[in-house]
Amino acid sequence: MVAKEAVVELVRDAAAENGACDVRIAPAFVDETTRTRLRAAFARGDFATWGYGDDRAVRATDPATILERASSVLCVAFAYATAAPSRAPLTGRVSNYAWSLDYHERLLHVLRAAARRIDELAGAPVTAIACDTKPIAERAYAARAGLGWTGKHTNLISRRLGSYVFLGEIVTTLELEPDAPLRTGCGACSRCVDACPTGALRGDYTIDATRCISDLTQRTDAIPRELRPLVGEWVWGCDICQSVCPPTQRAGERGARADAAVNAFAATPELVRLLRMRSSEYRRYIARTAMGWRGAAVLRRNAAVALGNALDRSTVPALVEALDRDPHPMVRGHAAWALGRIGSPAALAALQARMECERDGTVREEIAAVLVRT
Ligand code: B12
Ligand code: SF4
Ligand code: SF4
């Protein structure tokens, strides 16, 4: 018989180098309530950009999908809050979770080490791990384990560490006594709902992810035109709903010592430099962070949108350069939009000139949408 305390201690030991963490245990049950919520969310189209369907709802709510004869889920919360760096004008905003070394690698390393030691203790392979890498409703099992509660911003809020926590799981066939869910919640607070610039949060613990800035900055196709002005200067992710959340504010930067920015450019990228970024700079400064997985063109597109929202005429030459020379049509199209937003004579003249030679239909459409208004 393997004792619950010994297993929890092994996880804490493995995580010790990575700042504060909490560990609690949920039963590996089929979670019908969450399954119904996921189905409803997918049917509403809230996750249309992710292509989630019924299969995802079924798999994510049954830990046996990850490990046959799963009996318990060790849910782990890793703190990651670090103070927002001060920003100079014309730099982009990057979310707290993304400016450090990619968390997946670090946390999977911790979970793997802990799982190996649990297997040794049990004398047989009894574990499987996940951290944003497998279809499991991580927040739902964490909430069931009492690691925290689901806030109206839909993030799991740990009582001690706030919501700036990553979640990871060790699913095991060991029968470990489950912990109780917390008896707490958001009450009448709705600060996150009021603060969200795009109206993505409905206030009933659901989100229209297709409106969330975090999703908009990660998608690989065009950002819907009507949403671009609402993205502001975010170039990766968004922290607004969490930064106004009282329990997250109270937690402060408790324990996140491993999450310092990898370099200043990743934390507060100069927008013009980001707009011009090619593979070598991308590989050097960005690829190893959590904003590296979508490639350089997505970040150049995001820089164009942020510059369109910054409305600074000094950036027109760089945007014209992107319009004329960026190899990716999506970046050229968003540069056209940004020039239209700035709307100076030089910006409009560049758009007129580009219309004469641009061959890509999507870019021509972006330019036409500006010129028709002027
Ligand atoms: C797709 C995805 C996204 C999408 C959609 C986000 C979302 N809210 O679902 C986008 C790109 C927008 C996104 C953004 C972010 N993400 Co994300 N994302 C995921 C991913 C891969 C799947 C989430 C999913 O299945 N969503 C579908 C929804 C329906 O499922 P759910 O959120 O689990 O469902 C809960 C709600 O529906 C809620 N619910 C619904 N109705 C009701 C009713 C009541 C009464 C209650 C109480 C609850 C409730 O209960 C469900 C279970 O808890 C997870 C990893 C994973 N495997 O879970 C990471 C994950 C959720 N993301 C994470 C992070 C860090 C973020 C960002 C903070 C990053 C950033 N700063 O930009 C933002 C937060 C934005 C926000 N407000 O949610 C962390 C969250 C950690 C935490 N503390 O909760 C996760 C768990 C990754 C990880 N391993 O750490 N993400
Ligand atoms: S991350 Fe930003 S855009 Fe997304 S729900 Fe929160 S405040 Fe709204
Ligand atoms: S801001 Fe208020 S309503 Fe939103 S998650 Fe935090 S406590 Fe809950």
| Per-residue model confidence as pLDDT tens digits over 218-253 | 999 999 999 999 999 999 999 999 999 999 999 987
Give yes or no for residue 231 CB within 6 A of ligand 2: no
Phi first, then psi, for residue 172 (nearest 5°) are -140, 155
Q: How far apart are CA 182 and CA 191, in angstroms?
A: 21
Nearest CA to ligand 3 atom 7: 186
Task: Choose one of 150, 194, 216 to mutate for the ligand 1 pocket test, by most ligand atoms within 8 angstroms of C-beta.
Answer: 150
Q: Are the C-beta atoms of 354 and 367 separated by less than 8 Å?
A: yes
CB-based burial label for 319 (10 Å; 0-12, 13-18, 19+):
buried
Phi first, then psi, for residue 253 (nearest 5°) are -100, 30
205, amino acid identity: Y
| Per-residue model confidence as pLDDT tens digits over 253-302 | 776 665 677 788 999 999 999 999 999 999 999 999 989 889 999 999 99
What's the CATH class of domain 270-374?
mainly alpha
| Per-residue model confidence as pLDDT tens digits over 156-199 | 999 999 999 999 999 999 999 999 999 999 999 999 999 999 99
Give yes or no for residue 189 CB within 6 A of ligand 3: yes
Q: Which of 151, 158, 137, 146 is nearest to 183 (CA)?
A: 146
Question: Which ligand 1 atom minimizes the distance to the CA of 149?
Answer: 47
Q: How far apart are CA 358 and CA 122, in angstroms?
A: 65
- Beta-strand runs (E) in 131-164: 149-150, 156-157
- Rounded to the nearest 10°, the torsion over CA 307, 308, 312, 314 is 70
Q: How far apart are CA 241 and CA 266, in angstroms?
A: 21
Q: Are the C-beta atoms of 95 and 236 separated by less than 8 Å?
A: yes
Give the tokens for residue 251: 């937690």
Phi first, then psi, for residue 372 (nearest 5°) are -65, -25
In DSSP terms, which residues pair with 74 in a beta bridge?
Answer: 25, 170
Centre of ligand 3 to C-alpha 199, Å, is: 15
Q: How far apart are CA 188 and CA 51, in angstroms?
A: 33
| Residue ranges matching CATH 1.25.10.10 in the chain | 270-374
Centre of ligand 1 to C-alpha 123, Å, is: 35
| Per-residue model confidence as pLDDT tens digits over 26-44 | 999 999 999 999 999 999 9
> Hey, which residues are catalytic here?
132
| Per-residue model confidence as pLDDT tens digits over 57-108 | 999 999 999 999 999 999 999 998 888 788 999 999 999 999 887 888 889 9
